Structure 1
Amino acid sequence: MEVKAKGISVYDRNSELRLFDDSKVGVKGLVDSGISKIPRIFVHDYQVKKLEQKSNCKNSQFNVPIVDFDRIYEDKARRYEIVERIRDACENWGFFQVINHDIPLSIMNQMIDGVRGFHEQKSEMKKQYYSRDVTKGFIYNSNFDLYQAPAANWRDTISCVMAPNPPDHIDLPPICRDIYFEYSTYMMKFGHTLFELLSEALGLDSSHLENMGCTEGLFVLGHYYPACPEPELTYGTSNHSDSGFLTVLIQDHVGGLQILHENKWIDVPPTNGSLVVNIADLLQARQ
């Protein structure tokens, strides 16, 4: 937004941020309005973005580890092999994909459909959930750090704390309510298994991380990235680390996830039915 001060046009970023936030329509609402140019608040530094794009690595020599959980409770030798795979992935990547994790593909697809369904509703249906009040049971907004980040990302998000104190059933939108609760049940079970294996990979008793409380919480995010008229100027998600949180992701068939490995940005192609695990800074060892 441009304002004039003594006859000179000055960009008023704060006003543009407030105008966008107060509209409660998110990035999807901008797209639905038919814009051909993105608002300036979403424009990232061009030279930085250009340099990062050049650093992208699509070399097939790098493949994010895939860990198969098949027969994890049935075969001790197999479990040891899985633990070793996880240890290696954590030490050398900080990421790995998991297959045969006992979360049905139908549940994962329904979760993706539920998130997409919410974001593709009419704006009037979504506005009642738009908020920056983190105490609410269910939140819809665009960019949790909208007023702090140097540039906004081209995405909208729904979020909900599902454990240890889940919201009332009625607090969630009907379009994704049931699948949020069903998916969370499966994810909590998967979390227990994952923290058992991570404990063993650290050379500890399998219940060590659980006894520390690591399995108690579950925060579910549903990002949505609408088509952008000027994708060369912005990001869906800028580079970041999930400090302090172990993150488990479902990618849809479009993909787009990249991770930094050996100072190169590596594509993580979506693998049907897999979960992507990011251990973030959770398991850093200090000497």
Structure 2
Amino acid sequence: MELDSYNERKAFDETKAGVKGLVDAHITEVPHIFRLPQGTLSDKKPSVSASAIPVVDLAEVDVSRERVVEKIKDAAETWGFFQVINHGVPLSVIEEIKGGVRRDAMIEYSKHVMTLGGFLFELLSEALGLHSEILKSMDCMKALNVVGHYYPPCPQPDLTFGTSQHSDSSFITILLQDQIGGLQILRKDSWVDVTPLPGALLITNDKFISVEHRVLTNRAGPRISVAGFFSTNMLPNSTVYGPIKELLSEENPPKYKDFTLEEYNKGYFEKGLDGTSHLSKFKI
């Protein structure tokens, strides 16, 4: 059975048609190589209301920056995920990037996401009780990788995922998705539907959570999403990463070993999206 599955995947790969080829062929059934084991999606229906997901209004910074920082701190510590509104990315730019991931639209969108990312890093730094430039000074936003995702309508959404369970390797992910929905995050062992709004996550010494998430398939569609992954320079280098020294004390010792980017990425990409956290491999 395993050999048959391998041969089927190999034959599909050799067609070079990809999922687009399946869409163009107007398939009415999900091919076996994309089907999940029976019962995998038994928890598809969320048990927590989507309205419970924290929403941070960045316009409130002009009234009380401390209040916004506190909201972000609470959301990052308890959810590892929050949505932002009044974030400064023009609606016209958002609609253009959703309408089609084209070169000019991508460049314009990326400029706004870089600005928003810088602002979020400042607020997250302050939420950690540190000066606002600390995360940026650690090269947390040295690189921005913007990726467009296209999820075609699925004839049998109960048989497969759009994207399987995983957590991101970036410092922050800012996600834009259209109104189709499908994104879910894992909250206290229950999956929660996410209303389509930008979101962000951050990892640092277990204080802020990198949330597990997945994308369901849907008969409606296509679904479009654009993810902006903030990270350090992805080229191999000798920089060692670990817990922020200013956050450590006898009462709050480090929970992770130091590691280089090469060490982390090697294991992360070898592991694949298997529903486990690669960061746990470095836990002390």
The equivalent of 1:250 in structure 2 is 176
CA distance, structure 2, for counterparts of residue 14 and residue 179 of structure 1: 39
Contact residue 83 and residue 201 of structure 1 kept, 8 A: yes
The correspondence of residues 81-100 of structure 1 with structure 2, limited to 5 A, is 81-100=67-86
Contact 1:57 1:267 in 2 (8 A): no
3-state SS of paired residue (2:177): coil
Do the aligned partners of 2:185 and 2:192 also contact (CA within 8 Å) in 1? yes
How far 1:14 sits from its partner (Å)? Answer: 2.6
Alignment of 1:114-129 (within 5 A): 114-115=100-101
Report what 1:216 is aligned to: 142
- Structure 1 position 283, deviation (Å): 5.7
State the AA in 2 paired with 1:24.
K
Aligned counterparts of 2:184 and 2:15: Cα–Cα separation in 1? 31
**C-alpha displacement at 1:91, in angstroms?**
0.9
Task: Indicate the structure (1 or 2) with the bigger Cα radius of gyration.
Answer: 1
Change (3 A) 1:282 1:41: farther
- Residue 191 in structure 1 maps to residue 191 in structure 2: no
- AA aligned opposite 1:80: E
Structure 2 distance, partners of 1:107, 1:244, is: 24
| 2:26 pairs with 1:34 | yes
Shift of 1:11: 5.1
Match of 2:151 among 225, 235, 255: 225
How far the C-alpha of 1:10 sits from its partner, in A, is: 7.8
Match of 1:128 in 2: none
Residue 192 of structure 2 corresponds to which residue in structure 1?
266
193-202 vs 13-22, which deviates more?
13-22
For 1:49, the equivalent position in structure 2 comes to 41
Aligned residue pair count: 209
8 A contact 1:71–1:79 mirrored in 2: yes
How far apart are residue 195 of structure 1 and its match? 0.4
Aligned to 2:5: 13
Q: Secondary structure, in 3 states, of the residue corresponding to 1:239?
A: strand
The residue that corresponds to 1:6 in the other structure is none
**Whole-angstrom CA distance in 2 between matches of 1:10 and 1:222:** 32
Identical-residue share of aligned pairs (%):
46
Moved over 3 A (4+): none
Change in 2 beyond 3 A, CA 1:206/1:11: same
Give the superposition deviation at 1:244: 4.3
Relative to 1, partners in 2 of residues 1:231 and 1:215: Cα closer, same or farther, differing over 3 Å? same
Give the SS at the match of 2:132. Answer: coil
Q: What amino acid maps onto 2:44 in structure 1? A: Q
Task: Quote the offset at 1:234 in angstroms.
Answer: 0.5
**Structure 1 pair 188/283, CA: closer, same or farther in 2 (3 Å)?**
farther
Q: Deviation per CA, 1:220-271, whole angstroms, max 9, x where unpaired?
A: 111111111221110112221113442111110111111111221111122x
Aligned-pair distance for 1:26? Answer: 2.4
In the alignment, residue 67 of structure 1 is paired with which amino acid?
V
- Partner residue, 2:243: none
In the superposition, the TM-score normalised over structure 2's length comes to: 0.68
In structure 1, C-alpha distance between the alignment counterparts of 2:105 and 2:30, rounded to whole Å: 33
Structure-2 change in CA distance of 1:111 and 1:231 (3 Å): same
Q: Is the 8 Å Cα contact of residues 94 and 278 (structure 1) preserved in structure 2? A: yes
For 1:226 and 1:245, the matched residues in 2 are separated by 29
Three-state SS of the structure 1 residue aligned to 2:44 is helix
Alignment of 1:139-178 (within 5 A): 176-178=102-104
For residues 173 and 204 of structure 2, the distance between their equivalents in structure 1, rounded to whole angstroms, comes to: 10
- The answer for unaligned runs of 5 or more in structure 1 is 1-8, 116-175
- Distance in 2 separating the partners of 1:227 and 1:254: 10
Counterpart secondary structure, 1:192: helix
1:22 paired residue number: 14
Shift of the 212–252 alpha-carbon distance from structure 1 to 2, 3 Å rule, reads same
Does the 8 A contact of 1:246 with 1:282 survive in 2?
A: no
Give 2:160's aligned residue. Answer: 234
